Each structure stands twice: as C-alpha cells, then as structure tokens.
Structure 1
Amino acid sequence: KVNKASRQVTRAGEMINLTPTEFDILTTLMTQPDTAIDSITLVKIVRGYEATEADARAIARVHVHRLRHKLEFDPAKPQYLITVAGGRYLLRSH
C-alpha cells in the first residue's frame, strides 16, 4: 500500500523504508501500470535531469535493484517490479 501524501509504503501491514528516489521510482511506475518506462525517462522524471543512456541505465538499475529487495517477497524472481529488454522497467498491476 502506498500513501503518496505521507510518502509511506507498507507491505503486509509492515512499514517499508524507501529512499526518496526509490519512492519516486515506485510512484512513477504506478502512474502507468503494466507499461514499460525506459531508464532515460525514469531518471529524468525522478532525478530531474537528462542522463546519457548508459548513465540512466546504471542509475535506474541500482535503485530498482534496491527497491526490488525491499518490496518483492523473492527479489530473484520478481512478481511486480519487472525489468524489460532495453533498460526499461514496469510495475505489474496484478
């Protein structure tokens, strides 16, 4: 459960501590569920600047990895935060 006003996330009733960047990535992906967003766009929205493709992929990869470890029950087999070919990410709505 995500509370955008308080910037808090809970899973199974427990509070999940997210960094501001992790929270912003999650809420950005939530605005377009089941739609892959490329790393450049994600970094521009979340961090507020344009990065090269290589830099954007590296930035997104690190933050999504950390976010996945906090949100997924099995981060090695993600059910919700999915990596798509081409350095894109999506949040499954199921």
Structure 2
Amino acid sequence: MNFFPLYDKIIVIKLEEENKIGDIFIPINENNILKGKIIKVGCGKLLENGNIVPLLVKIDDLILFKDNYNIEKYKVKNKEYFFLKESDIISIIK
C-alpha cells in the first residue's frame, strides 16, 4: 500500500526494538512513548498566508513520539502505521 501524506502529515512505523537508545533506557509506562521510523513525509506546513514551510524531519529518521488520542492509526497485514504531525514528535534520534 502506498500512502501520500498531505502537508505536515508524517507516516511512521513503530520499531519493535529494545527500549534503549544508546545507553539510555526508555521504560514502558503509562506515557506510551514509542520509537518509530519515518517512512513518508508531506510537503510541509501550510501557513495562513498560503506559504508552505518545509518539515525538519525526513524519510528514515528515527524518532520518539507519544501515542495519544491525536495520533491516527491504520493497520494493514499486521503492520501498524501511525499518522502524525511534526508537532507530535518528541525527538529525532541521531
């Protein structure tokens, strides 16, 4: 399935990896902080004046994001896709 996110939407897949980033352990708790990989990005944020500001994130960036009620999810063949905005991202992992 091929998605084409609009404007400031970003499509992420959750990484089922160890809950560690380097030497930092991310506990699994009620905060629902997930590690993901960006697979598609929109063209940018549409401003009121009609200009489009490019997004800071790009395809293949690893990110931390919080799974909450604002995040749309779509499941295809046991693979879950998260549709979020750049403002939903907590951090880019380098």
TM-score (norm 2): 0.26
Higher strand share: 2
**Structure showing greater Rg:** 2
Q: Which has the higher contact order (CA 8 A, sep 6+)?
A: 2
